[in-house]
Copies of this chain bind each other. A is one copy, B any other.
Amino acid sequence: MLNILVVEDDEKLRKLFAAVLTRHGYRAVLAENGEEALAILDREFISLVISDIMMPKMDGYQLTKSLRDAGSDLPVLMITAKEDFEDKQKGFLVGTDDYMVKPIDVNEMLLRVGALLRRARIVTERKVVCGETTLNYDALTVWCDGEEVLLPQKEFYLLYKLVSYPNKIFTRQQLMDEIWGMDSDTDERTVDVHVNRIRERFKGCPDFKIVTVRGLGYKAVRCPQGGEGE
């Protein structure tokens, strides 16, 4: 499922967009301004941002600029009012990928979202390769040892996160925030259980291992491969 972050201060619009996106198989994540958006981006895997320009606290330009400055190439679809439009260079100079002028036609929005996602997917195939093993984010599958396994969502996202940043230690809290969402009231121990399930499932896989870092959390390590001797 693709997560789309909608950054819009007008509640009505926000809800409208969310409804439309949800209806078309995306998951909409909502923020009222750029600050909130950045916080969310920090902890959730977002595939595309739809952002208004005029907003309190942090506007769309600033938001996009922050993203680009941080080296992200997340696609951004900007929403402008006609009035804002005068300084249209501004928007694109900071790295917007596309824009729409209010009033928004939701079908147009869907088309643009589709086109941007297609492009983004082309540029960044969402796969992680680790030795002979490949994780396919879109299919929730792991190709390992000659067969493709379909994982449950939580397990997959957890594994994907860990394997995407090999050797990086994640605290349980970080993992919870990212995969369960900030406002989940699930117990931290649950992470352990899922790690256990993943370990069980891939105990035969020679390419990676999930290592416990006592007192801190977990990390994935790539295992050096046996073209060499044992």
Chain A residues with a Cβ under 8 A of chain B:
1, 23-25, 82, 86, 88, 92, 97-101, 105, 107-108, 111-112, 115, 118-119, 122-123, 138-140, 150, 152-153, 167, 169, 171-174, 177, 182, 211, 213-217, 219
Contact = CB atoms under 8 A, between A and B. Distances in A.
Given A88-B105, A99-B115, 10 more contacts: A1-B216, A23-B173, A82-B99, A98-B101, A98-B115, A112-B122, A138-B169, A140-B213, A152-B214, A153-B214
A147 to B, nearest CB: 11
A219 to B, nearest CB: 8
A97 B182 CA distance: 26
A230 B85 CA distance: 55
A118 B112 CA distance: 9
A108 B88 contact: yes
Nearest to A154: B215
Nearest to A138: B169
A140 B82 CA distance: 35
A108 B122 contact: yes
Contact of A92 (B82, B100, B118, B177): B82
A107 B123 CA distance: 9
A1 B25 CA distance: 35
A122 B98 contact: no
A139 B118 contact: no
Nearest to A96: B82
Contacts of A112: 118, 122
Nearest to A86: B101
